[in-house]
Amino acid sequence: MSPKDNEDKNPTDTLPEPQQTARDVTKDAFPYITGDEGPRSSGNSLHGIVFLGELCHWANFQKEVRTVFNEIKWDKEPVLDRLKPNDLYHSEHFRCGAEISTSGRYIAHVLNPMSGIATKLGFQLRFGDWHAVKDHLKWMLPDSSDDESADDVTRDDETMGQDDNTGDAEGEDQDRKKPKRSIPDYAIIDESHEARALGEAKHPWRSFPGRWIQGAIQGDAQTETRLRRFVGQIARDMWAADLKYAFMTNYRETVFLRREKVQGKWTLFYSDAIRFDATSDMDNFTVSVRECMLYLFKITSQVPKKGGWSLGGMEKEPLEAWVRIPKRSKKKKTTDNTSASNKSTDNKHTGNKSTYADQMTVVRRPKPPAGSAAGPKKTSK
C-alpha cells in the first residue's frame, strides 16, 4: 500500500479509534429498542389512508446517497468518544411499548446527531417536529371514500401529536369539505422555519416495510397493497405540503420517498428499506440510515427551491386520485373515552363494543341477590 493510499484510508476501516469523527458517526448503525418482549401497543399504528397513485421502486437510491457522501469534505476532528460495551449509552435501557417512545429513541439516535453533523458541515438546516414549522398543512377531505377494510390497519392514539384528520369525537359533525390540519411527525426545517422534507414514524410491531417492498418489486399484489397503506399517510402530506422528499420509519426500518412527475404523471418513488443495524460499507453501496439522512440534508439545501425540493406552483392531481381516505363512522359519545391504555374491543357474545375497563367492570360486578332485579342494564356502545 502506498503512503497516499494509507493517508486516504479512514482509520475506522481498520481498527476502531477511541473517538469518532462526523464521518464515522454518519456511517454507523444505532441500537435497537428495548421492550420487544414485554407488553406493548397493539396493531401497527398505520392509519387507513391508502396510496392510489403510481408507485415505483427508487432503484438507484443507495448509489445517489453514496455519491453525496463521497462529495462531502470530511475533516478528522473528533465529535464524540466511541462507545464501548460497558458504557452507559452503548445500549438501550428505556423500555418502549408505544410509538411515542420508539419515535423518541429514533430522534435521539438518528435525527438529533445528524442535525448536529449537518450544522458542522455548513447546512443551515436541521430536523425538528412539525410544531416548529411556521406553516400548517391544509387538505380537503373528499366527498366520499371507501371504508377501512384491512385487519392489519389500526389507529394508534399514542402518536406524537398526530391527527389523521378523518374525524374525531369533536369534529365528526363538521363539514367534510372544511380544510383541516395535518401534522407529520418530523420535518427538515430551514432558518426561516419552512419545511423542506417530511418524516413520519410508526412503532415497529406488526409492520414490515422491507418485506412489503420486496414483494412489491416482485409483483406481488397483496404485499404491494400493504406497502400502499404504509406510505399512504406520508404521501398525503407530501401532496399537501408540495414537497418532493420524505421518509417513513418504524424504527427498525426506514423508507425514503420521492414525489416526481414522470411523463406527465405524478409518481411516488420508494427506496429499499434501510435497517437500523446497517452500516455504511465503502466497498459497495450499502448505506446506513444516518448516511441517508445526510443525503436528505444535501438535496434539500438546494437554492432556488423551485425545481429542487419544492413542488410548489406545479399543477397536481386531485387528492382523491392520489390517496384514499377512509370514512369514519359516527360514534356515540360516552363518558369513558377510549385511550391507548383502554382500547376498544369486541364482545364476542353480544356483538357489542365495549372498552377493556367496561368489560372488567362487568366481570367483577357481583351477582344480584335472589329475587332482585337482574343488575345494571347494559347499554350498546
303: left (phi over 0), alpha (psi -120 to 50) or beta: beta
Cα of first residue to Cα of last residue in the chain, in angstroms, is 75
**Mean pLDDT value across residues 51-78:** 97
Q: Answer for the pair 280, 286: CB distance below 8 angstroms, yes or no.
A: yes
b/e burial code for range 230-240 (CB count within 10 A of at least 16 → b): bbbbbbbbbbb
- Strands 253-262 and 245-249: what pairing? antiparallel
- Strands 195-201 and 245-249: what pairing? parallel
What pLDDT, on a 0 to 100 scale, did the predictor assign at position 44? 64
Question: Within 10 Å of residue 164's Cβ, how many Cβ atoms?
Answer: 21
pLDDT category, 363, cuts 50, 70, 90? Answer: very low
pTM here? 0.74
Of all residues in the chain, what percent are helix, strand and coil, respectively (each to 5)?
Answer: 30, 20, 50
Continuous H helices in 150-231: 209-217, 221-230
Q: Answer for the pair 132, 193: CB distance below 8 angstroms, yes or no.
A: yes
Report the candidate in 30, 7, 111 with the shortest Cα–Cα distance to residue 280. Answer: 30
Q: Answer for the pair 185, 160: CB distance below 8 angstroms, yes or no.
A: yes
Q: Any idea which of 107-121, 225-239, 260-274, 304-318 has the lowest mean pLDDT? A: 304-318
State the Rg of the chain over Cα: 24
What pLDDT, on a 0 to 100 scale, did the predictor assign at position 338? 38
Higher-confidence position of 233 and 171: 233
Q: How many helices (H) and strands (E) does the chain have?
A: 11, 16
What pLDDT, on a 0 to 100 scale, did the predictor assign at position 339? 39
Retrieve residue 28's grid coordinates.
Answer: 454507523
Report the candidate in 288, 101, 292, 128 with the shortest Cα–Cα distance to residue 196. Answer: 128
Higher-confidence position of 358 and 285: 285
Cα torsion through 126, 128, 132, 134, rounded to 10: 50
